[in-house]
Structure 1
Amino acid sequence: MSSFRLRPVSLTLSLALASLGALANDSELETIVVTGSRTPTRISDLPRSAWVVSSEEIIEQARAGVPLKELLGQLVPSLDVGPQGRTNFGQNLRGRSVLVMIDGVSLNSSRGVSRQFDSIDPYNIERIEVLSGASAMYGGGATGGVVNIVTKRGSKGLQFSTELGLRSGFETSEDHDWHIGQSLSGGNTWVKGRLGFAYQRNSAAFDASGKQVTPDITQTDLQYNRAVDVLGTLDFSLPAAQSLKLTAQYYDSGFDGDKALYLGPNLAGALGGRPELLQVRSGFQSDIEPRTRRTLAMFDYHLPQVLGGQDVYLQGSARSEKLDFYPFPGTYRVAGVSASPVTVPYYSTSRQNTDVQALKAALVKQIGDFKLSYGIDLDQEAFAASQVLFDAAQGFATGGMTLKRSGEVGRYPGFEVRGRSLFMQADWRLNEQWQLSGGLRHQRMDVSVDDFVASQQQVLIAAGIGKSAAAIPGGENRYSVTLANIGASYRLNARNQLYMNYSEGFDLPDPAKYYGQGSYSLNGGRNGNWVLNRGVSVAGSPLAGIKTRQLETGWRGSVGGFSSQLAAFHAWSDTNIQFVTSTLAINVIDQDTRNYGIEGELGYRFNEQLKLGGSLLAIKSEEKKSGNWQNQAVTAASPSKATAYAAWSQGALNLRLQTVRNFSLSDPSGARLKAYSLTDLLGSYTLPQGTLSFGIQNLQDRQYATVWGQRAKVFYGSLVAPATVDFQGRGRTFSMAYSLDY
């Protein structure tokens, strides 16, 4: 089977699950604490799907060589299979965008750069909490759900942890990655701290045919990359049961090598119809290299039983990130310079900086079986972007291997976003079986956009085509949206629970890729002026937000040796994002879209040694055109997926065999994502001192193109030869790691 056919969900599923749940015994329902409703909440108190990736699961996967994006795709049913480059574009939750946080602090920004999972090393992660589906309580960006990465904290007594790891496909001497981690933890009753350092260095990667994977010159690659993650935490226990948590992180992940994709003489391999000239070779020199740099600082303060018996939660954070992209070539065809149009080559890269400050305050009042949570969120974001220009003649002549900076112009219009939100959540336990939940969030956003000359005109002026250009006016746009959620859960018995939930989420499409687009004409020849014919301005074409509504119903619990969670969902909105492949800009159009399907996980423990399990995401993403529903574009829709695993433990030895199947997907334009299956073998052995972990990814050495590689051909196929963005998946890869706690 290569695809799923689904019909919109109904309440039939919950009725069927009710009869199944009645078979369970009376042992306790799992009560893992998660950040589910802005304050610590048991999963059994959430009328919605929630998943927790535990520390043990992260360690098992990461020490066996599985990267963060891929382990999340393996372990979280509602999350798409992870790509293998730097970007996590298209790794959605239930087919919609995901809000990624570290300890409750958002890593998302209004500029939709998909590098949220290029943000932390798994060595510094304690667990990962996932809320599937639209979230009213977390506001913007959570139309598909929330992924909250919880960091490791300090403990009493002085403790050290060391980890060393290697990964290779053994194709050449360059086919190796290595990783080190070192942490120091200590404290007493009043203060605990941890300082963790992780370093990852990658070299080349090869596909199953033994050919080096094509480096990603679009969203940047992780070959020849080194990453440093330094994370420090301090936890204070203060008088009167107060607590204060401080967290600071520095993350730096960037290119570090001299090999890159050679595009052929005069870029004939990428632009001239001769893809056989493309090859990875030494000698790459660029004044700007791909990189992600991020600093993050935050505090969390808890003051219990004040203001009439209320708990006060305060969180403040500041995040600064600087993103550099891979240099990318192109040509502009320009009329009005001479009797016939002229072709102007260029080579450039984007540099994008974002600074965000946020303050969150919540108060919680417990009155018997009724709990009321309410508060305010304040945040401010500033974005600026430039486009570094390189000597185009030298860049073309060397096939993109020598890139010397020649100038700098604007890439996107700068903007600021100021947000303020009020929220309220009520939870009421009616009796031992029934619990009701409901809440509102009122969110206001002020978006200020700078005046901006379209990027193409700035590049052409720098090349001597025209002397000046009219700016597309900026301005200010205000958004006001109220989001609601309401849910109910019914406890069948101590081990099983049914739930139903309606929730709304809001997403502001990328202002940088929407505003600042314009149509110009050259008046007066080469030394003339660019006249603005039409532009996307704040006053003339204000950017519309996207409100998503979602209904889900599900069951979680256990029956005999089985443990499971299963949910049916249906999400819809009346606005959609349309990508312009020729410019990579976006349009926001009035168009009904919907995502519906089933997600679930099932596990069965035979005994202390053997456990089997698997998960399923059967999803359909559609949009309405001319009154008829049709498949959404493959650049936006999520493929269905299924996973399965067998875990075996005997004494000091642990083994896990896991597989993931990504199903095919097509759209009305004829674009198609091909299906593929991958199998991994993971294991560990506890030594007298320390633990030896090992793994084999892509055990069957399958040749396949990653989901991002297939999407990239759709996005960039009109700009470069498809072979330039043909990103194959990594072949059979072996990993080994040694870890010691002392």
Structure 2
Amino acid sequence: MNKYNGSIAWFCAGMTIFLAAPNAVAETISVTGVRLNETEQGVEIVLETSPLGEVRAFQTKFGNTIAIDILNTRLQSDSSEGFRRQNPTANIAAIEVIQQNQNSIRILVKGTQQVPNVQLTEQQERLTLAVDSGTPVAQEGRESEPQPETPTQPEELPTQPETQPEPGEPIRLIVTPTRTEEREEDVARSTTVITREEIEEQSGLSTNLPDLLGRTVPGLGPPTQSASTRTQSLRGRQPFISVDGVPLNSNRRDFQGLRSIDPSAIERIEVVRGPTAVFGSDATGGVINIITREAARERITGSTSISLGPRLSLSDLSESFGGGISQSLSGDLGSVDYAFTASFEGTGNAFDAGNDLIPIGRSQGLDNLETLNLFGKVGVDITEDQRLQISANYFDDKQDVPTLPDPSVNETPERETARALDTGDLDIDELPGREETVINLKYSHDDLLGSQFSLQGFFQESLTRTIPEDKRDTIFQSVSRTEIDSEKLGIRLEVETPIFEDANLFWGADYVEESVDNPIEIFNAATFDESGGTEFDKVDEEFFAPSYDLNTLGLFGQLQWDATQKLSLSGGVRFERFEVFADSYNVLGDIALTRAGNAVENVEGGDIAFDDVVFNVGAVYDLTEELSLFANFAQGFSAPDFGRVLRFPPRGAGSVSEFVDVTEPVVVDNYELGLRGNWDQVQFSLAGFFTYSDLGENVRESDEGPFLELERSPTRTYGLEVSLDYQPSQDWQLGTSVTWVEGESNPENTDEGFVALSTREIQPWKITAYVDNQTLPSWRNRLQLLVVGGRDRAFDDGVDDRDIDGYITLDYISEVDVGPGTLQLGIQNLLDNQYFPVDSQLQSENSRNSAALGRTLSLEYSVQW
């Protein structure tokens, strides 16, 4: 197969650019203080600096804001956390100075009615930005006193409450919606940003990312309490998951992409809700972009955390005992910066609210799990414009399985709760679990022929092993388990080019090659029986789906234009080509199984190719300074899971090229209309959406075995999302969100053939609420509520085996400063309610209907140094 040839050529071309770059390192300008002076025209921003070298600055305008980027500059000392001032003059709404990246700072000046004028001048050890606000600062009857040109001490950063930004006011820049930096309020999409502080807070309840995001992101299904996200869709479809832009999704769906990195290695998570093609394929539900930790701006800083839990059950502390440790180091050595994080966590058994042991079962629970995560990032500033950065992340889950479901409960026709059998440790060469490796190399140039240029090359490999099962009464007729091994090599070229003063064109190309293996391991059945189901002696290996390669090439362009002071427009187009290669194979190999009367077949290898073009257009209109309306039409697409397509060819199939009837990807049309408000104490958003695809990618339980089959049929989803946050005072915060999603498919492709989508695709409605209080200066408390509704539409339409019951949970998080660090207490299911997650309720067998965790607690002590 043609593995890696195309991407190697692209990568070599990129490295040629890098090697040809100058290797001189410019002296970094340090900003040691920031202050404001009133002037007759408005205000001037004074940056106290180290001796100035060459100063290079670029400006961008959006809405009523002008952004000035100053290259080769870093905030130092007391200025390192940035500078913010609200309403410094009558016509200036906000001024902010932030560290834009490792090698530049950004000054944001927001006008109340129009874009301010800013003039930059250089003096010895000082940069001055004169801001013309349009009206003099001097008030009537009072003369403005001239400010001293050089104060004896630079003004320290404001620390009093009246000089801090009000909640919701700071300007936040995000990169995920358009792959380039953009203000959150200017994005014509529904977005959610989970900050580092929120990640640390929610990790006090669970370090499992599917659970963390299920509690905080509107539109995403509720927490799964497992490694799998099979029943956790985003707006009824699967999202694209990435780490720093590196795709984690495999075409052979394993639904464990979020179980790939520990929260301790994450800086923030940006979620775009709704289909998008900006990042390429597999984003029919949206994008979850995980952005890793950044280097500190000091020479060396670190943090150490030790935890007990995170799933300690008060009913049995010894059996549920677990704990973890994490260590991070980061710093800045001038032209080189670094960030490293290492973490380890181990869990014990899990207990439900009835104090009964929960079996791990097929859903890949988080019990008896040992998790190791190693992350590192090193960046080098080659020149003031050029930077090279390499990062690597290794994640390893290993699960020893002493508790398996008791199959005897399946003999009762009534619905029963799964019971656990204490089987003891597994005797097997490779424990079930998941390994993930990501290596990411990125070169960037901030001013290449007037454009910002970046070239990214990456390698990603994931290996997922399931828990062995006795499948002798199924089509597989064996004691066996499956593996999914996916390996990717890819390259991304991104260029941002100014078109005119208020418009930028973002364009480039992506190329990804993925190789997929999906074997099934066969174990000696006699040995399995004699050991009581704990010893697994591998005797053979076939394939659950044949090996194949999938190559994708994408070309894209995206335009951002601030048409007026109130109206921002965006639009883009993307071309994507898919190529699939598979070698000759025997259907299910030597297992000699039959399906629907078909004998085992030999299939000749071959290839297929198809392509499509998708586009998007969006607009944001500022109704007032605080309230904006946004609308967009966007298309997303993905290739179907070819493992399911190739696994069971039709009788008489000659070659892959002949029987694989896939001539186009899954293309999803998305229509969205929303309203956003951002006041001093209130933040609000409301969005409604509708999506449609002629050829969906829905899965259903097979009638002939314990596996899912692909169903490509017309599919539509629709829903509403509401979020509201309120800060009545400096010490109180509260908020809520509501998610309602529905959808149907048309398997028969008739005018009146639409039936409800399974709850595997459409999760029940969800409400979240929280109240957060700074009880004392060193003590903070938070209560958060999760309400998951019932769903019976799919059962009434014969799609699900039973209707879904709703449930309510209440969680508690408390943080208190103790000694040099912070002690955090987290309690899941505070009221100890007995309930069943959506995934458990969907299982057809009683032995898989596992209850959720009862009341559990975790303790963590962390020290920053």
CA distance in 2, matches of 1:641, 1:37: 28
One-letter amino acid matched to 1:430: A
Which residue of 285, 303, 310 corresponds with 1:161?
Answer: 303
**Equivalent in the alignment of 2:404:** 261
**Equivalent in the alignment of 1:379:** 512
One-letter amino acid matched to 1:618: W
CA distance in 1, matches of 2:853, 2:436: 27
CA distance in 2, matches of 1:66, 1:230: 15
CA distance in 2, matches of 1:42, 1:128: 15
CA distance in 2, matches of 1:430, 1:277: 62
Conserved 8 A contact 1:26-1:493: no
**Equivalent in the alignment of 1:199:** 344
**Equivalent in the alignment of 2:861:** 738
Q: Percent identity?
A: 26
The answer to whether 1:305 aligns with 2:429 is: no
CA distance in 1, matches of 2:855, 2:469: 30
Relative to structure 1, the CA distance from residue 663 to residue 410 in structure 2 (aligned partners, 3 Å threshold; closer, same or farther) is same
Query: What secondary structure is seen at the aligned counterpart in 2 of 1:413?
Result: strand
One-letter amino acid matched to 2:299: G
CA distance in 2, matches of 1:414, 1:590: 22
Relative to structure 1, the CA distance from residue 210 to residue 536 in structure 2 (aligned partners, 3 Å threshold; closer, same or farther) is farther
**Equivalent in the alignment of 1:539:** 658
Query: What secondary structure is seen at the aligned counterpart in 1 of 2:644?
Result: helix
**Equivalent in the alignment of 1:473:** 604
- How far did residue 322 of structure 1 move? 1.7
**Equivalent in the alignment of 1:230:** 374
TM-score by length of 1: 0.87
State which drifts further: 470-479 or 145-154.
470-479
Conserved 8 A contact 1:477-1:542: no
1:299-334, CA deviations, whole angstroms, 9 ceiling, x for partnerless residues? 222202223x11101111101122211112223589
Relative to structure 1, the CA distance from residue 644 to residue 710 in structure 2 (aligned partners, 3 Å threshold; closer, same or farther) is same
**Equivalent in the alignment of 2:717:** 595
CA distance in 2, matches of 1:550, 1:658: 32
- How far did residue 707 of structure 1 move? 1.4
The CA RMSD measured in Å over matched residues stands at 2.5
One-letter amino acid matched to 2:403: A
Query: What secondary structure is seen at the aligned counterpart in 1 of 2:686?
Result: strand
Which residue of 226, 238, 245 corresponds with 1:85?
Answer: 226
1:647-694, CA deviations, whole angstroms, 9 ceiling, x for partnerless residues? 001311111100111111121115322111111011101223000000
- How far did residue 209 of structure 1 move? 0.4
- How far did residue 635 of structure 1 move? 2.4
Which residue of 151, 160, 163 corresponds with 2:292?
Answer: 151
1:409-448, CA deviations, whole angstroms, 9 ceiling, x for partnerless residues? 2221111011111000011111110111000000001011
The answer to whether 1:514 aligns with 2:639 is: no
Conserved 8 A contact 1:163-1:739: yes
- How far did residue 138 of structure 1 move? 1.5
1:517-543, CA deviations, whole angstroms, 9 ceiling, x for partnerless residues? 157xxxxxxxxxxxx656894412323
Q: Which runs of 5+ in 1 are unaligned?
A: 1-24, 335-343, 463-467, 520-531
Which residue of 734, 753, 761 corresponds with 1:612?
Answer: 734
- How far did residue 284 of structure 1 move? 3.1
Relative to structure 1, the CA distance from residue 399 to residue 651 in structure 2 (aligned partners, 3 Å threshold; closer, same or farther) is same
Query: What secondary structure is seen at the aligned counterpart in 2 of 1:63?
Result: coil
- How far did residue 106 of structure 1 move? 0.7
Relative to structure 1, the CA distance from residue 145 to residue 458 in structure 2 (aligned partners, 3 Å threshold; closer, same or farther) is same
**Equivalent in the alignment of 1:627:** 751
The answer to whether 1:416 aligns with 2:553 is: no
- How far did residue 408 of structure 1 move? 1.5
Query: What secondary structure is seen at the aligned counterpart in 2 of 1:512?
Result: helix
Correspondence list, 1:368-517, <5 A: 368-455=501-588, 458-460=590-592, 469-517=600-648
Relative to structure 1, the CA distance from residue 45 to residue 453 in structure 2 (aligned partners, 3 Å threshold; closer, same or farther) is same
Relative to structure 1, the CA distance from residue 186 to residue 207 in structure 2 (aligned partners, 3 Å threshold; closer, same or farther) is same
Conserved 8 A contact 1:269-1:278: no
**Equivalent in the alignment of 2:392:** 248
The answer to whether 1:347 aligns with 2:479 is: yes
Conserved 8 A contact 2:226-2:365: yes
1:611-657, CA deviations, whole angstroms, 9 ceiling, x for partnerless residues? 11011111111224643343212222222111000000131111110
The answer to whether 1:550 aligns with 2:670 is: yes
Relative to structure 1, the CA distance from residue 533 to residue 272 in structure 2 (aligned partners, 3 Å threshold; closer, same or farther) is farther
One-letter amino acid matched to 1:655: N
Which residue of 329, 332, 357 corresponds with 1:187?
Answer: 332
Conserved 8 A contact 1:575-1:590: yes
Relative to structure 1, the CA distance from residue 591 to residue 518 in structure 2 (aligned partners, 3 Å threshold; closer, same or farther) is closer
CA distance in 2, matches of 1:534, 1:476: 14
**Equivalent in the alignment of 2:807:** 676
Conserved 8 A contact 1:381-1:416: yes
Query: What secondary structure is seen at the aligned counterpart in 2 of 1:331?
Result: coil
Equivalent pairs, count: 677
CA distance in 1, matches of 2:783, 2:301: 32
CA distance in 1, matches of 2:187, 2:837: 35
**Equivalent in the alignment of 1:295:** 437
Relative to structure 1, the CA distance from residue 116 to residue 561 in structure 2 (aligned partners, 3 Å threshold; closer, same or farther) is same
- How far did residue 400 of structure 1 move? 2.2
Which residue of 353, 358, 362 corresponds with 2:490?
Answer: 358
**Equivalent in the alignment of 2:254:** 113
- How far did residue 591 of structure 1 move? 2.9
CA distance in 2, matches of 1:37, 1:48: 10
Relative to structure 1, the CA distance from residue 496 to residue 242 in structure 2 (aligned partners, 3 Å threshold; closer, same or farther) is farther
CA distance in 2, matches of 1:376, 1:176: 49
**Equivalent in the alignment of 2:834:** 703
Correspondence list, 1:124-143, <5 A: 124-143=265-284
Query: What secondary structure is seen at the aligned counterpart in 2 of 1:154?
Result: coil
One-letter amino acid matched to 2:725: G
- How far did residue 475 of structure 1 move? 1.9
**Equivalent in the alignment of 2:116:** none
Which residue of 763, 767, 791 corresponds with 1:638?
Answer: 763
One-letter amino acid matched to 1:244: L
**Equivalent in the alignment of 1:178:** 323
CA distance in 2, matches of 1:508, 1:592: 15
- How far did residue 608 of structure 1 move? 0.8
1:210-234, CA deviations, whole angstroms, 9 ceiling, x for partnerless residues? 0111212x24332111010000011
Query: What secondary structure is seen at the aligned counterpart in 2 of 1:500?
Result: strand
The answer to whether 1:648 aligns with 2:778 is: no
1:322-349, CA deviations, whole angstroms, 9 ceiling, x for partnerless residues? 2211112223589xxxxxxxxx941011
Q: Which runs of 5+ in 2 are unaligned?
A: 1-91, 95-109, 111-168
Query: What secondary structure is seen at the aligned counterpart in 1 of 2:210?
Result: helix
Conserved 8 A contact 2:772-2:781: yes
**Equivalent in the alignment of 1:11:** none
Relative to structure 1, the CA distance from residue 332 to residue 272 in structure 2 (aligned partners, 3 Å threshold; closer, same or farther) is farther
Conserved 8 A contact 2:556-2:575: yes
Conserved 8 A contact 1:410-1:458: no
**Equivalent in the alignment of 1:15:** none
Query: What secondary structure is seen at the aligned counterpart in 2 of 1:361?
Result: strand
State which drifts further: 532-541 or 474-483.
532-541
One-letter amino acid matched to 2:757: Q
Relative to structure 1, the CA distance from residue 161 to residue 589 in structure 2 (aligned partners, 3 Å threshold; closer, same or farther) is closer
CA distance in 1, matches of 2:422, 2:647: 35
1:54-111, CA deviations, whole angstroms, 9 ceiling, x for partnerless residues? 1111111113445322121111112111211221112111111101111111101111
Query: What secondary structure is seen at the aligned counterpart in 1 of 2:658?
Result: coil
1:324-381, CA deviations, whole angstroms, 9 ceiling, x for partnerless residues? 11112223589xxxxxxxxx94101112211101100011111210111111101101
CA distance in 1, matches of 2:511, 2:349: 44
CA distance in 2, matches of 1:333, 1:535: 27
Query: What secondary structure is seen at the aligned counterpart in 1 of 2:218?
Result: coil
- How far did residue 26 of structure 1 move? 6.6
Conserved 8 A contact 2:714-2:745: yes
